[in-house]
C-alpha cells in the first residue's frame, strides 16, 4: 500500500495531520451511574473498573462487555500535557451526549454520535499532570440517529446491540495560538485544478496560507493565500479561496487512485506558525443521462454493502490492520465500491479507500421517529458528517435516508416528502460535486439516482420482475414498495440495485440467525447463488451498477461473504470472476 506523504500510523485524522499530538486511547478508570450527579466525580475518581478506550462498553474489547449498561458512563484518566500554545481535545466518536471536565473545571458538551468533535481545553490545563473526566449519556430514544443500534432490550430483525459511550479514538492536539481550523478542497478533473478554502482559528491581519501541491515528490504548484477578511458593511462575506493548477494532471479513479500530496503552512507576518499535511485528488462525479460518470467516463458500480461490525469491537475496528483487511478483500473480490451502511466509519477507512481506490457511498445513520426534535437532531448531525468527510475523493455519493426509516409514511405524507426533498437539497447545498440519494431503496422524492432494494432469491424471477425499464421506474410485482413517492416520478436518472442478495450460508444456523430466502448449505452453493443473482442484475441494460448484501455477517444476520470474525465463507476468486464478467 503506497501511503501519502503525511501518513502517520494510527493517526486518527489522516487527511489533516500535525506533528504535535497525543494518543489517549488505552486504559481509563470507569464507572456507571443511574443519575447525572457530578460533584463527586468531576474532579477525578478511581473507578472499580477499567475500560479500554476506544471500545464501547458493550464491546468485549472494552474489557467490560456489558450489553445493558446504565445511562451515565464515566471515564477518568490522568495524562501529562506539555506547556505552551493551545490544546485541543478531539473525540472521533462518542454516543451520545458527551460532557468533559479538565482538572475539575467544566470544559464543554457535545450531542451526537457519528462525527468528530473538539473541545479547546487550553484555559483548563496545566503543564505536567492533568485529570480528564468524561461523562457520556445514552438512552433508547428513536428521535436521535442510531443506525442499526437496537432500542429494545434484545436484538431484533436487523437491529443489533447498541453502542454506548466512547467508541472511536480520543486524542490531544497541540497547536499555536493561531492555527488552521479547517480546509475545504473542491477538485475539478475537467479543469485540472483544485479550489482551496482555508479557515484559520482567528481572523487576524497579516495571516496568509502557503499552499503546496506535490506529486511523487515533485512540486506541481504553490501559492500564497491572504486569509484576513476586513470587516465591512457587506451582507455577504465569503472566505478567500485559492486555485491550484498542478503542472501534471493525473485523475483519480478506482482503477488508478492517484493522490497529490498537499501542505498548508499558516503564516503570521511571513513566519510559519502552523503546518498541516494533507492530500487531494482530481476527480469528478456526475450523472449523464442514465450513466454515472467519473471523470467524464461511464462507470459500472460493483459495490458491496458493509455495516462495519466486528465480533470483539462491535462498531469499532480492532485496529488499523482490520480496516485494511476489509478493503483489501473488496478489491481482491472484484468490487470497485462499497456502501458503508448506517454508520460513519473510522476516518482511516476513507483514507484507505482513497489510497486503494474504492468508490464509497456515505450514509447517514437513521432516526426512527418523525418529530420536531428528530428533525433538528438529524439535520445537525448530518451537517457535521458532510463537513467531516467531504474532502475524501473516494466518497462519490451521500445518502441521508435509507428505506423510509424515520419517514415511515413518506409514500403519501406531504410533510415527510418535504423532509426527504429538503435533505436532498440540504445535502446539495453542502456539496454539488457528488451524487445525492434522498431515500435509498424506494419511495424517492428528489434524487440523483434511482436505487432499488430487492431480495428475491430466484435469479430467473428477479430477471423477469425487472426485465424492462418500466418495472424499475414504476414498480415491479416483486416489490410492494413503489420506486417513487406519490407525486414524484422517474426523470431519466441512473438506476442502481443498491441492495440485493443477502443469501445466508446456513449449514450451522443457530437460533435467531437469519438471511433472505431459505439460504444455502455449502460454500459452493453460496458462490453459485451469488453468480445467479449478480448475473440477473447485470442483465438489466438500463442499470449502471449494484450493491450486494453483504460483506460480513453481523450478529444475528448471517448473510455475509465472510463471518463476523472475518473467516471467509467463499472462494474469493469465484466472487471476482462473477464481478469481472
> Residue ranges per domain, the chain?
21-175, 180-280, 300-404+454-580
Sheet of 297-298, strands arranged across: 285-288, 291-294, 297-298
For residue 395, the model assigns a pLDDT of: 98
Supply 409's cell numbers.
409514511
Question: Could you name the CATH architecture of 21-175?
Answer: Sandwich (2.60)
pTM more than 0.95: yes
* CA–CA distances in Å: residue 93 to residues 78, 161, 167: 20, 17, 6
For residue 560, the model assigns a pLDDT of: 97
Supply 130's cell numbers.
492533568
Q: What's the CATH number for 300-404+454-580? A: 3.20.20.80
10-residue mean pLDDT series, the chain (581 residues): 96 98 98 88 92 98 97 97 94 98 97 97 97 97 98 96 98 98 98 98 95 98 95 83 98 98 97 98 98 98 98 98 98 98 98 98 98 98 98 98 98 98 98 98 98 98 98 97 98 98 81 87 96 98 98 97 97 98 92
Tell me the three state secondary structure of residue 380: helix
For residue 509, the model assigns a pLDDT of: 62
φ, ψ at 469 (rounded to 5°): -60, -35
For residue 37, the model assigns a pLDDT of: 83
Q: What's the CATH number for 180-280? A: 2.60.40.10
Q: Going along 192-315, which residue ranges are E strands?
A: 193-200, 207-215, 218-226, 241-244, 260-268, 271-280, 285-288, 291-294, 297-298, 301-306
For residue 233, the model assigns a pLDDT of: 81
For residue 389, the model assigns a pLDDT of: 98
For residue 230, the model assigns a pLDDT of: 87
Is 371:419 a contact under the CB 8 Å cutoff?
Answer: no
For residue 238, the model assigns a pLDDT of: 85
CA–CA separation, 165 vs 56, rounded Å?
6
Q: Which residues contact 395 (CB under 8 A, 6 or more apart)?
A: 350, 360, 361, 362, 389, 434
Amino acid at each position: 500500500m503506497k501511503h501519502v506523504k503525511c501518513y502517520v500510523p494510527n493517526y486518527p485524522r489522516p487527511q489533516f495531520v500535525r506533528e504535535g499530538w497525543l494518543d489517549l486511547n488505552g486504559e481509563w478508570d470507569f464507572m456507571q451511574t443511574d443519575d447525572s450527579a457530578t460533584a463527586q466525580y468531576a474532579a477525578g475518581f478511581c473507578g472499580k473498573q477499567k475500560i479500554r478506550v476506544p471500545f464501547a462498553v458493550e464491546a468485549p474489547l472494552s474489557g467490560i462487555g456489558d450489553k445493558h449498561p446504565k445511562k451515565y458512563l464515566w471515564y477518568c484518566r490522568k495524562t501529562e500535557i506539555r506547556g505552551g500554545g493551545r490544546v485541543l481535545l478531539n473525540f472521533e466518536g462518542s454516543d451520545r451526549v458527551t460532557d468533559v471536565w479538565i482538572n475539575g473545571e467544566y470544559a464543554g458538551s457535545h450531542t451526537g454520535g457519528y462525527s468528530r468533535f473538539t473541545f479547546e481545553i487550553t484555559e483548563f490545563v496545566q503543564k505536567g499532570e492533568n485529570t480528564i473526566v468524561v461523562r457520556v449519556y445514552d438512552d433508547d430514544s428513536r428521535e436521535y440517529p442510531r443506525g442499526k443500534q437496537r432500542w429494545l432490550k434484545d436484538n431484533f430483525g436487523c437491529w443489533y446491540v447498541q453502542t454506548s459511550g466512547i467508541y472511536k479514538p480520543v486524542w490531544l492536539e497541540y497547536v499555536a495560538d493561531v492555527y488552521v481550523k479547517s480546509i475545504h478542497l473542491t477538485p475539478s478533473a475537467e479543469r485540472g485544478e483544485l479550489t482551496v478554502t482555508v479557515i484559520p482559528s482567528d481572523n487576524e491581519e497579516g495571516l496568509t496560507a502557503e499552499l503546496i501541491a506535490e506529486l511523487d515528490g515533485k512540486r506541481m504548484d504553490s501559492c500564497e493565500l491572504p486569509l484576513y477578511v476586513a470587516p465591512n458593511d457587506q451582507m455577504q462575506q465569503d472566505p478567500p479561496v485559492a486555485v491550484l493548477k498542478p503542472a501534471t494532471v493525473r485523475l483519480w479513479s478506482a482503477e488508478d487512485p492517484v493522490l497529490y500530496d498537499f501542505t498548508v503552512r499558516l503564516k503570521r507576518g511571513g513566519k510559519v506558525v502552523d503546518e498541516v499535511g494533507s492530500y487531494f485528488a482530481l476527480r469528478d462525479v456526475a450523472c449523464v443521462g442514465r450513466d454515472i460518470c467519473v471523470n467524464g467516463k461511464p462507470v459500472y458500480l460493483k459495490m458491496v454493502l458493509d455495516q462495519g461490525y466486528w465480533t470483539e469491537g462491535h462498531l469499532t475496528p480492532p485496529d488499523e490492520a482490520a480496516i485494511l483487511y476489509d478493503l483489501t478483500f473488496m478489491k481482491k473480490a472484484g468490487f470497485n465500491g462499497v456502501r458503508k451502511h448506517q454508520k460513519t466509519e473510522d476516518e482511516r477507512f476513507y483514507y484507505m479507500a482513497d489510497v486503494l481506490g474504492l468508490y464509497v457511498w456515505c450514509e447517514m445513520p437513521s432516526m426512527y421517529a418523525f418529530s420536531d426534535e428528530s428533525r433538528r437532531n438529524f439535520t445537525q448531525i448530518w451537517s457535521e458528517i458532510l463537513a467531516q468527510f467531504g474532502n475524501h475523493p473516494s466518497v462519490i455519493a451521500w445518502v441521508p435516508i435509507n428505506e423510509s426509516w424515520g419517514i415511515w409514511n413518506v409514500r403519501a405524507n406531504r410533510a415527510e416528502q418535504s423532509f426527504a426533498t429538503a435533505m436532498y437539497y440540504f445535502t446539495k447545498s453542502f456539496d454539488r460535486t457528488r451524487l445525492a440519494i434522498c431515500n435509498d431503496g424506494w419511495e424517492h422524492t428528489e434524487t440523483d439516482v434511482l436505487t432499488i432494494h430487492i431480495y428475491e432469491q430466484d435469479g430467473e424471477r428477479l430477471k423477469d420482475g425487472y426485465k424492462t425499464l418500466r418495472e424499475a421506474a414504476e414498480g415491479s410485482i416483486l416489490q410492494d414498495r413503489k420506486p417513487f413517492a406519490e407525486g414524484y416520478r422517474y426523470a431519466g436518472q441512473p438506476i442502481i440495485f443498491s441492495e440485493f442478495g443477502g443469501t445466508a450460508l446456513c449449514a450451522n444456523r443457530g437460533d435467531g440467525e437469519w438471511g433472505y430466502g431459505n439460504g444455502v448449505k455449502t460454500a459452493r452453493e453460496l458462490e453459485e447463488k451469488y453468480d445467479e443473482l449478480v448475473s440477473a442484475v447485470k442483465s438489466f441494460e438500463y442499470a449502471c451498477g449494484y450493491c450486494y448484501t453483504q460483506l460480513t455477517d453481523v450478529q444475528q444476520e448471517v448473510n455475509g461473504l465472510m463471518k463476523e470474525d472475518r473467516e471467509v465463507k467463499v472462494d474469493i476468486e469465484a466472487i471476482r470472476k462473477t464481478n469481472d464478467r
